[in-house]
Amino acid sequence: MSRRVAALMIVLCTLYALPASEAQQAPPANPLDVVPEKMPFDVPYGAPIVLERALAAITAAANEARKHDWKMNVAVVDSGGNLVAFERMDGAQLSSIQVSEHKARAAVMFRRETKVFENAIQQSNYTVLTLDGMIGSRGGIPLIEGGKLIGAIGCSGGTSSQDEVTCNAGAAMVKK
């Protein structure tokens, strides 16, 4: 019995002797508690993208995908989230039709790239999963002209990074 008591005393003395930083650490600060000075992603909505510009964005995106032999679905929505134009490249997977439209709508409604949601999920910020219409995958990019949001482009069919590269080519066409 005395050996048990002696062993318990040694353990208690060891724990008591630990520096305070090792014995008990304060939980890390919640990054969601930070209050930004300015509103993030505060891009005003503009007039809706016209069909000619939407088709030019799709053409640029599809040309980029063809360079890499990627089979993509590409959707462009206007500033209200309504579908303006769509292209399904030959052989692009059927499930990506709706995903490309979803990415475009999420990008325009939330006024940010869908990559933001993917990053939040990877950093364990699961509160983004509670947002209606959110999609946690790259490949949705707002289309901004003259400082105003005129629509968004969404690409799906490859990996998230392939979708993003394809979309960036389409978005760059609108910025010209």
Q: Are residues 76 and 126 in the same domain?
A: yes
Q: Total domain count for the chain?
A: 2
pTM of the model: 0.80
- Give pLDDT tens digits along the chain (176 positions): 566 656 555 655 555 555 555 556 777 777 677 888 888 888 999 999 999 999 999 999 999 999 999 999 999 999 999 999 999 999 999 999 999 999 999 999 999 999 999 999 999 888 899 999 999 999 999 999 999 999 999 999 999 999 999 999 999 999 86
Same domain for 57 and 16: no
- CA–CA–CA angle 160, 78, 42 (5° rounding): 75
Q: Is residue 39 part of a domain?
A: no
* 25 and 63 in a common domain: no
Across the chain, the runs of DSSP E, i.e. the strands, are: 73-78, 83-88, 140-145, 148-156
